[in-house]
Amino acid sequence: MTDHDNEQNSGERRYWLDDPRNVNKIVWALVVVCFGLFFADGFYAKHGLFSVEHLFAFYALFGFVMCVCLVLIAKWMRTFLMRPEDHYEPDD
């Protein structure tokens, strides 16, 4: 813990994630894994009880599209729901 504190105080230590190139590496790794998962859909037997589950890469597409929709709708909701932080504070 002491070493750790010293490092913090000196402010010298660079962490692996501080380098934007390393962050890019993680993003590319995610893209590669997603690519693999997308095509993995052709290599197992599907037993889903709903017909939609049998669409190619249904879960992948559903996850991506719905998350984008979620964020964009939530962002739009801000336009009429967002208030200043002290909105509910009493006036006095």
Partner 1 sequence: MIDFSPGLILIFGAALVPFLHGKARCIFMLTLPLIGLILVFTLEPGAYAKIPLLGFELTTMRVDRLANIFGMIFFTAAALTVLYTLHDRDPLQQVAALIYSGSAVSAVYAGDLITLFVFWEISAVASVFLIWARRTERAYRAGMRYLIIQVGSGVFLLAGALFQAAETGSIAFDQFELGSLGTTLIFIGFGIKCAFPLLHNWLQDAYPEATVGGTVWLSVFTTKLAVYALARGFAGTEILIWIGAVMAVFPIFFAVIENDLRRVLAYSLNNQLGFMVVGIGVGSQLALNGAVAYAFCNILFEGLLFMAMGAVLFRAGTVKGSELGGLYKSMPWSAGFCIVGAASISAFPLFSGFISKSLILTALSEEGYLIPWLLLLFASAGVFHHAGIKIPFFAFFAHDSGIRVKEAPWNMLAAMAITAVLCVVIGLWPSQFYTLLPYPVDYQPYTTEHVINQYQLLLFSALAFTWLVRTGLYPPEMRSVNLDFDVTYRTGLPLLTAAFVRTFGPIDQGARRAMLRLFRTIVNHIYRHHGPEGALARSVGAGSMVFWVVAMLAGYLVISLTSF
Chain contacts with partner 1 (rule: CB under 8 A): 1, 4-5, 8-9, 13, 15, 17-18, 27, 30-31, 33-34, 37-38, 40-41, 44-50, 52-53, 57, 59-64, 66-68, 70-75, 77-78, 80-85, 87-89
| Alpha carbons 59 and 48: distance in angstroms, whole number | 11
CB of 33 vs partner 1, minimal distance in Å: 6
- Please give the distance of CA 20 from its chain centroid, rounded to a whole number: 17
The residue type of 42 is G
**Cα–Cα distance list, 73 to 65, 67, 76, 79 (Å):** 12, 10, 5, 10
CB of 63 vs partner 1, minimal distance in Å: 4
CB of 59 vs partner 1, minimal distance in Å: 4
